[in-house]
């Protein structure tokens, strides 16, 4: 493998790890309705 291919693979792996972290975080937060969160933020900005 060339260096550029290695670095691309490393970046993809890092991105996949971040996605997994985000998905795990979201699944933990699913007890709270996401829509009400965004609506609350909208009211606070007004």
pLDDT in tens, 9-30: 999 999 999 999 998 888 777 6
Give the separation between CA 29 and CA 36, rounded to whole angstroms.
12
**In the chain, what are the domain boundaries?**
3-45
Residue 1, SS3 per DSSP: coil
Give the separation between CA 20 and CA 5, rounded to whole angstroms.
23
Q: Is the pLDDT of residue 7 over 90?
A: yes
Give the separation between CA 20 and CA 30, rounded to whole angstroms.
15
Give me the chain's average pLDDT, please.
80
Q: Residues near 1 by Cβ (< 8 Å), separated by ≥ 6?
A: 9
């Amino acid at each position: 493998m060339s260096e550029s291919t290695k670095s691309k693979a490393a970046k993809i792996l890092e991105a996949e790890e971040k996605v997994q972290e985000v998905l795990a975080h979201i699944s933990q937060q699913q007890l709270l309705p996401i829509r009400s969160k965004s609506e609350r933020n909208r009211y606070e900005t007004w």
